[in-house]
Amino acid sequence: VGACIVNSENKIVGIGYNGMPNGCSDDVLPWTRAAAHRLDTKYPYVCHAELNAIMNKNSADVKGCSMYVALFPCNECAKLIIQAGIKEVIFMSDKYHDSIEMTAARRMFDLAGIVYREFKPKCNKIIIDFNSINSRPSQKLL
């Protein structure tokens, strides 16, 4: 999951992805979604992309900025987004739309005047051909 904050000129001022807190090894803490005990899952530990994007910003503040996210933000990230002064959230997926966390996030966004909308790509996939990096275009010698 990722997040990207852009200013009014569409320049990137912060990026983040889901990960463990600084100094907490990914190899020691769990990444599993389900376990007998909640402490053995990723949920008590992982920092969401939105949090990391706000914390890793390269600007004095992000007031009035827009945030692009893969998933619609949870209620905890919604609080951070509101407090940071971000005014717009553009998301790719809202697959947890009916959950309590997402319902609470939408409620807070509405009350705070945060605009949120789904990003609808013009194409469904992007293909990157890494082999083309090493190929040289054919050139005719004069």
Q: Which residues are catalytic?
A: 50
Strand 12-17 relative to strand 2-6, pairing: antiparallel
State yes or no: 74 annotated in a binding site: yes
Q: Kindly state the tokens that stand for 33.
A: 């979604």
State yes or no: 48 annotated in a binding site: yes
Q: Kindly state the tokens that stand for 134.
A: 């090493």
d(CA 90, CA 2): 12
Q: How many CA atoms lie within 13 A of 42 on its CB side?
A: 13
Could you list the residues known to form a binding site for Zn(2+), using ranges: 48, 74, 77
Give the annotated binding-site residues: 48, 74, 77
